[in-house]
Amino acid sequence: MRVPEWRKIANKIGGMDGREVRHRSWQEIRKRWDILLSRTHYDFSRNAFADDGRRTGSFFFKPSQVEEIILLLRQRVPHAVEQTITKADRILAHRFDILGFEDLDYGEEIDWHLDVVHGKRAPVRPFYSIQYLEFAEVGDSKITWELNRHQHFVTLAKACRLTNDRRYADELLAQWRDWQTSNPYPFGINWASSLEVGFRSIAWTWFYQLLDSIGILPADFRREWLAAQAMHGRHLERYLSTYFSPNTHLLGEAVALFFLGTLCPELARAKRWKELGWQTILREARRQVGDDGMHFENSTYYHVYALDFFLHSTILATMNSVAVPQELEHTLEKMLQALFVLSAGGSPPSFGDDDGGRVFDPARNKAEYLSDPLGIGAVLFHRADFKSLIRNPTEESIWLLGAAGASRWDELETSPVSSCSAALPASGIYSLVGQSGTLTVRNGVGARQSRGHDHADALSICLQADGRSLLIDPGTYEYVGPDNLRNVFRGTAMHNTLRIDGKDQCEPDGPFSWKQSLPCRTEQWIQGESFDFFLGTHDGYQRLLPPVRHRRWVIGMKSGVFLVRDVVEGEGEHQLDHSWHLASELVVHRENVFRLKDSMRGLAMLHPGNHGWSVSVHRGMWSAVYGKQSSATVVNHGKRANLPAEFISLLIPLEDVSSDAGHISFAKDDRLVPGVRAYEHQSPDVRHRFYFSSIQGIWNSGGVSSDAEFVCVTSEAHGGPIAIAFVNGTYVQTVENQHFRTIRKVQRFEWTANGISCSDPEAIESAPEECVTTQLAQQTE
């Protein structure tokens, strides 16, 4: 049943406290008052200037340092110099790369209100009345806004400094003045989002700082520029997204105010903007960043987005002797460490929404560039491990930190990064690192401040090997569009997890909200010497009748084998569908084995031969960057099953796909017992036996006896055990008569050639064979 719009509004107001109601009401009054003022031809920049005409404030570089930075750029990142000039030449012809769209032609005269991709022009009416999420009215507002952020002005300014060709500056000034004429305040889509106003203001600051000292700007341009910046500052202060979008919107707006207040002290409100911006930045650093360093949107892209804002504002604060609290420094390093964890296997997995923009260079919007902030963090926090992962400084780090930063970078000694498994528990992200690859589990958390940019992807995984993606998150593609694919891309079927009865784990409720919460729990996370162990569950399908729970085990063997066990708990008959989304570079090599197009590396995806699930392989959608859609291989397994049911997958990254990855099967043994599931992976070199138990007490199955919830026995292909591990138990005994016992229940026990390792070392006790035999006899009686 469709809820009437008035009831939605009433419910929304009912959920606000008095402060929020007053704040929102005052903003609505101000919007309408501004329209009335505009109709009287009111000058909104009137009284914008302070009486003393102060001109202070330090940017990231002094005018005298620009030539030195350009020399560094030519030496350290010559490709970036070439790309800047190439892009600037296309901009002269009004051809732009926007989000995932390349070489868009805006014609002789740029229409600043046009979504050129879809041919839709937003109406020029009071900004608050424009429905910028209605595709029929404005097209995709992100495309329009991305151009109007004016980050291409910075490209033109850099090209002018790199080449000493004033054509770039002339084009910039022509576009600047055309924009002022085409976007009278407060009309049009380019005033509808305060974040976009903030981005534009920051870009204007950059181009002015690049061109101010070389005599290329008109003599009176600073006052003209300041008047336009004053208009932007006024709008930002009045329409901060304090309650509307208290995420990166509010953060970006605060950063813009801090830039304006710091670098435009001639403006009457500069001191107020500087203080308001900085205090908001500090508050949002506490509110938006979790204990594990991840941004609360639980999106890889939004994490980097927020980190960019924090880094830029913190460096600017330092340049201007603004005290940076130790708490903020600690938060920044935590965020960088979280990004380091996500980047350990290569380009960070793209969990959650991909926004498509960047604070410095919007062209660096693909997954391979998301680790960029680590280059800045390496210098700021003297982290050689960050440098080792990035390898080379970025153009952004050179502009922000200059020659001094480049020297500090050179002083950092690097060594190969020794990747190890790690967790971001507050965000439900777990990285299992093996000899041949890195598997990342995305479990989410039980309660979130915001889920607007989250996906229905609980218990989804991504897999990388040798810096290359093998199993991927297919991305975002769009927020609005003619194909209405927003909910498809953020739905459960587009992720490497289980879908039940054809439904998503939670139901969409508009483009940036969900009808239900998605409670997730990590029941176990164990980092061992020979294996890592993850067990998580979510309640997204408790709304089904009868209710269903999905539980997923992920076992990462350090040898490079990853076992994924899915158990669906509940009653009745349900349709179960399991998806694996392969990287677009993977092609079918042979049955169950996929190869990278330009390499013999690949992935073996093994399942027991008699698992009873149907299998299909087809080409599905994926999006590398916002607005761009491509195809990639998807492997689906499905089954109409009476619950409980389970599905086993063995994932093995391969250095050479011609090698034998072996096979996995259900263990064949007369002593298999209810409540215990056993699987065996046999390869030419090694044999793994995996046992999962849900019963209390001692069990005896497949030649292994134990009271543990999980046991793994690793043997040589035709020999005895070389490693034994168990989880949540007190002992294990194998048919080869190897046995180990602890005096109390331990979370983790491991025996390898290196000796014994245990989560509770004081509980270790050598168990004579007769003790185990006696215990078994007592259990039998």
Q: Which long-range contacts (CB under 8 A, 24 or more apart) does 365-370 make?
A: 365/99, 365/100, 365/625, 365/626, 366/624, 366/625, 367/469, 367/624, 370/300, 370/301, 370/304, 370/339, 370/343
Q: 423 - beta bridge partners?
A: 430
- pLDDT higher than threshold 90 for residue 20: no
Using a pLDDT cut of 90, give the percent of the chain over it: 80
Q: Minimal CA–CA distance to 99: which of 371, 354, 351, 474?
A: 354
Is the N-terminal amide bond of 546 cis, ω within 30° of 0? Answer: yes
pLDDT value, residue 449: 44
Mean pLDDT of the region 51-74? 89
State pLDDT tens for residues 657-686: 998 888 888 776 545 678 999 999 999 889
Mean pLDDT of the region 355-373? 93
Contact criterion met (CB below 8 Å) for 470 and 464: yes
pLDDT value, residue 770: 39
* CA atoms of 523 and 336, how far apart (whole Å): 27
Residue 431 amino acid letter = S
State pLDDT tens for residues 738-759: 889 999 999 999 999 889 999 9
Neighbour-count burial of 719, counting CB atoms closer than 10 A to its CB (0-12 exposed, 13-18 middle, 19+ buried) = exposed
State pLDDT tens for residues 131-160: 999 999 999 999 999 999 999 999 999 999
Which of these ranges, 73-77, 118-122, 415-419, 687-691, has the smallest mean pLDDT? 415-419
- pLDDT higher than threshold 50 for residue 775: no
| Per-residue 3-state assignment (H helix, E strand, C coil) for 385-423 | HHHHHHCCCCHHHHHHHHHHHHHHHHHCCCCCCCCCCEE
C-alpha distances in angstroms, 105 versus 94, 109, 361, 667, 682? Answer: 6, 10, 20, 62, 57
Question: Which of left, alpha, beta for 473 (phi over 0: left; psi -120 to 50: alpha)?
Answer: beta
C-alpha distances in angstroms, 237 versus 197, 232, 256, 308, 315? Answer: 11, 9, 10, 21, 22
- pLDDT higher than threshold 60 for residue 519: yes
- pLDDT higher than threshold 50 for residue 41: yes
Residue of higher predicted confidence among 367 and 55: 367
Q: What is the pTM of this model?
A: 0.94
* CA atoms of 123 and 127, how far apart (whole Å): 9
pLDDT band at 600 (very low <50, low <70, confident <90, very high): very high
Contact criterion met (CB below 8 Å) for 254 and 218: no
State pLDDT tens for residues 531-576: 999 999 999 999 999 999 999 999 999 999 999 999 999 999 999 9
pLDDT band at 765 (very low <50, low <70, confident <90, very high): confident
Task: Tell me the residue ranges of DSSP E strands in 504-597.
Answer: 520-527, 531-538, 548-557, 562-570, 573-581, 586-590, 593-596
- pLDDT higher than threshold 80 for residue 447: no
pLDDT value, residue 344: 87
Look up residue 406 and give its two tokens: 């480049």
State pLDDT tens for residues 65-81: 999 999 999 999 999 99
